[in-house]
Structure 1
Amino acid sequence: MKCLAMSFVAVMTLAGVRASDAAVRIKEDRGGRIGAYVDKYKGLRSSGEMVIIDGYCVSACTIVLGSVPPDKICVTSRAKLGFHAAWNPGSKGRQITDAEATQNLYSMYPSEVRRWIDQRGGLSPRMIFLSGRELATMYRPCHLDSRASSY
């Protein structure tokens, strides 16, 4: 009976969470293949969920900035975005910069983020980080709640 009561409480709690209340938390995302992130964030955009950036979001993860409407993104004080040029694996594991993919990646970012990147010399093999006050001027602060799931 106790198990049944706990199940009922869980179902009732979940029933009270509307899709517009749901949130996805990005915490320690080191990126990956650009295409995979484009697809991932397309689904996130159409879901209408809020995105909380609450830690590292680097490389292809940063595509979220151009994929999800800015009013659906918030940042915590721990948010740290890392940008670099796109690359392909070369011989012996070397990273070969892909100019076309880098331009495509760059074009996905909002104009304010592109300006920030340009002021730091553009996208290159070297990682540049956007965080703290600079990031807080571009995206609103999060008011965290426990309903956010990691993405």
Structure 2
Amino acid sequence: MYVTSDAVTAERLIEIQTRPPLNRAFERLQDSAVSYFGGSLLQTDIYDFAAYARKFDVDEDVRMQNIFVFGAQKQNLYIGKNPRIENPALWINPATEQGVQYINADDIYFRMGDGQRVYRYWKCHGNHSISTVDERFSHFSESERLW
């Protein structure tokens, strides 16, 4: 997800979407990321991906706001039994993506050191909304599920 420094009207959105350097950078990122990370992003840490994606920041006006893990196989790494949660969620609802790991702009641009990393879990609450390590299990219970 990206943001811009100024409000985006429908006209400005079209202008941004047609910026050649920005489109080339998106294409290069999409075409090169999988090979850069050894043929798969499945086990790639979200911060390592963010560091790589930052190399494709070519427009001062457009910046990454959030990075979410993407794809059912990757998202399913963040679901399953959690010893700290009674009745943990066992599936991701694609309509809400609750429990999916993400990082925000502060994480992307300022928290790159191992000791500074904050892993976030979408629409999870309390002690289960963030972690200092990449926790691969559910961060919400079935009773907390959003529908």
Assess same fold via TM > 0.5. Answer: no
TM-score by length of structure 2 reads 0.26
Instruction: Name the TM-score, length of structure 1 as normaliser.
Output: 0.26
Q: Which has the larger radius of gyration?
A: 1
